[in-house]
Structure 1
Amino acid sequence: MKTKLGFKYNTGKFILSQIDQLAHKGEEETRGFTKKFAQKWSEERCNESERYRYDRIRYLAQFSSYLCDLGIPSYIPKLPRYPKNTFIPYIYSQKEILALFKASDELRSVKRNMNSCLICMPALIRLLYGTGVRIGEALALKDEDVNLEENYLRVKDSKNGKERIIPISTSLVSVCKEYRNYRDHLPIKDSPGYFFISANGNKCGQGVGSWFKKCLSEAGIHYTGRNHGPRVHDLRHTFAVTSLASMAEAGVDLYASLPILSNYLGHGSIGATNHYVRLTANMYPDLIKEVNMTCLNVFPKYRNYETN
């Protein structure tokens, strides 16, 4: 039902399968969930984040509520307090960005791997930094979504399900054309039509993260570990902060421009974009000192930074 309504629901599918496994292991016989089963499912697990535990219980509560709507008695567990998000994004400096570009250009493979995403890394990193699109949105781009004659991208597979058009600079167009020219000379018979592909023509995927870590190492940027970063997604955060700083430097009213940046980034609301104003204010206090700081309280103060 969820997927037919348009939800990706990948995490939900995985968690529901785990619920099924626990029910099978415990030889549950009731049609709905019992309080005892819900309590067993809700127990804290070793090395589990508060956010993931919250999501586990939430999916059980949603499914149990669905069963009740069908007339099947089922216990609906109470959700724990929503965990606070203390994550602060890493903002790359201009020097670090240039170092990442250089490192991506100098990447080399020590062995033959036709499933490697190496060939697209220089163009991909520049596109992520130059447009602020999410990594998933960039990898989902088809050839017809990248218009290098009229200089724009069409993002269809968005996190919020909102299709949007993103203009791109002439320098980024040149990079994308150079990559496409090289890519089109690969001996690929049946290409799936994605813009960023591996050497064998398949859509780029998990290998991007590994290559990006190598770029960080070569650029002299310390990687602090999984879920701590710096990460590929921080290029998006850097784009947002850099854009706001550039607008402030040009004398543009930031709050008049906030809806434009929000739509450009594909956010569901302006409130999701607003935290970048505070982050920019902290990083460039002299640059945006003209901004009325009272306006920073227009939206609730929270750190709901994107983590994927």
Structure 2
Amino acid sequence: MTNYDSIYGPTIAQFIAMKTKLGFKFTTGKIILFQIDQLAHQRNEKTKGITKEFTQKWGEERSNKSEIYRYDRIRHLALFSSYLCDIGIPSYIPKLPRHPKSTFVPYIYSSKEINAIFKAADELRLVQRNMHSSLMCMPALLRVLYATGVRIGEALVMTVEDVNLEENYLRIKDSKNGKERIIPISTSLVAVCKEYRHYREQLPYKDRLEYFFVGSNGTKCGQGVRSWFKKCLNNAAIYHTGENQAPRLHDLRHTFAVTSLACMAEAGVDLYASLPILSNYLGHGSLGATNHYVRLTANMYPDLIKEIDMTCLDVFPKYKNYEAN
């Protein structure tokens, strides 16, 4: 449990509790509210009530931080100030700046690159003994991420019960939007998971094997996964192409989305029928979150998507607001 030091501590805890009870994960909000508490503590605030002076100090630009980061900081302070007003504590509610436009375009791996990544994952080896290593799960984990489009965080918290290899589906419970969903998986992916499970069950930690993807010591995989993935990229000769265009682990999800739309278009499935299917599969909160992939798919596969009325295509948002996790 987070310890707060300022006069706002108890109220921040109440505000977070309210948000979580309403079903919000509020992960970023918790971090930012902790920082608000620290600033109030540093300033030795004696009375409750966000002031305009405090807001201006909080909203100062930082040379090493992005405009998106600054926007989120001000937004969460405004939310907290509104909550204080609602419970009878007058507070200054800052005006939000214009939402920064994102120039981020996801990296879409080619089939050749995906095969190279899988080959690199299969050939990973430990240089020295490490009981915390996530190496063992990497070949299966990367194939699950590519073949299902699940977020890395969703995959790593799947328990043994969430992976049904008899009826061929995954159950995603801890999703970004708080929605539980069932994801059917192919027989080839089931075979991969069964092979991984066979080796996983050889670990001498029967009492710890709660999660499906585990490290050498039987505990849930952690940050080591990203380090191993970077090594896979290097071994597959897939390098960064510039600022905001670096191939990432999360781009396996974007690749799944684009590839799925292209495959459905090739199979003759109408775009407006395929979008709701893909949206539910990805666990998006709305179709708007999935629409971004339409233009990206059209740009990458112009021959497949050529039947789409370009006037209708322009209705969908262009490259912006791609999910970060």
Task: Give the alignment's TM-score, normalised by structure 2.
Answer: 0.91
Q: Give the aligned partner of residue 128 of structure 2.
A: 111
| 1:178 and 2:195 aligned | yes
Residue of structure 1 equivalent to 2:219: 202
CA–CA separation in structure 2 for the residues paired with 1:13 and 1:252 = 42
> In the alignment, is the contact (CA less than 8 A) between 2:25 and 2:178 conserved in 1?
no
> 1-side partners of 2:149 and 2:257: how far apart?
7
Q: What is the aligned partner in structure 2 of residue 81 from structure 1?
A: 98
Alignment pair present for 1:56 and 2:56: no
Does residue 42 of structure 2 align to residue 25 of structure 1?
Answer: yes
Cα drift, residue 229 of structure 1: 2.2
Aligned counterpart, 2:307? 290
Q: For residues 189 and 146 of structure 1, do their structure 2 counterparts lie closer, same or farther at Cα, with a shift above 3 Å needed? A: closer
Contact 1:155 1:163 in 2 (8 A): yes
Q: 1:190 Cα shift?
A: 2.3
How many positions carry a matched residue from both structures? 308
Alpha carbons of structure 1 residues 81 and 278: separation in structure 2 relative to 1, 3 Å: same
Q: Give the gaps of 5 or more residues in structure 2.
A: 1-17
Counterpart amino acid of 2:234?
Answer: S
Distance 1:284 1:302 in 2: 16
Alpha-carbon distance in structure 2 between the residues aligned to 1:225 and 1:161: 34
87, 102, 106: which is aligned to 2:119?
102
Shift of the alpha carbon at 1:42?
A: 0.6
Aligned letter for 2:168? N
Task: Report the counterpart of residue 34 of structure 1 in structure 2.
Answer: 51
2:301 partner amino acid: Y
Q: CA deviation at 1:22?
A: 1.1
Quote how far apart the aligned CAs of 1:6 are: 2.5
Cα distance change of structure 1 residues 221 and 204 upon mapping to structure 2, 3 Å threshold: same
Q: Distance in 1 between matches of 2:55 and 2:40?
A: 10
1:248 corresponding residue in structure 2: 265
Match in the other structure for 2:286: 269
Q: How far does the alpha carbon of each residue in 1:18-48 deviate from its partner, in whole angstroms, 9 at most, with x for none?
A: 1111111112222111111110011001210
- Which string of whole-angstrom CA distances, capped at 9 and with x for unpartnered residues, describes residues 211-245 of structure 1? 00000000000035896420011001101111111
Whole-Å separation in 2 of the counterparts to 1:211 and 1:302: 29
Distance 1:292 1:277, change over 3 A: same
Greater shift in the superposed pair: 298-307 or 98-107: 298-307
Query: Is the alpha carbon distance of 1:46 and 1:62 closer, same or farther for their aligned partners in structure 2, counting shifts above 3 Å?
Result: same
Taking a change above 3 Å as real, the CA distance of residues 12 and 192 of structure 1, as seen in their structure-2 partners, is farther
Which of 206, 221, 231 is the equivalent residue of 2:238? 221
Residue matched to 1:259 = 276
Deviation sequence 1:146-183 (CA, Å, 0-9, x none) = 11011111111111111111111111100000001100
How big is the shift at 1:268? 1.0
Question: Matched residues in 2 for 1:140 and 1:100: separation?
Answer: 23
Q: Which residue among 137, 149, 170 is the counterpart of 1:132?
A: 149
Contact 2:295 2:318 in 1 (8 A): no
Distance (whole Å) between structure 1 residues aligned to residue 47 and residue 307 of structure 2: 64
Q: Name stretches of at least 5 consecutive residues in structure 1 with no aligned partner.
A: none
For 2:309, the aligned partner's letter is N
Secondary structure class of the residue paired with 2:20? coil
Work out the percentage of aligned pairs sharing the same amino acid: 78
Paired residue secondary structure (2:21)? coil
TM-score by length of 1: 0.96
8 A Cα contact 1:143 1:193, kept in partner: yes
Q: Deviation of residue 196 (structure 1)?
A: 0.4
Q: 1:160 to 1:298 in 2, by over 3 A?
A: same
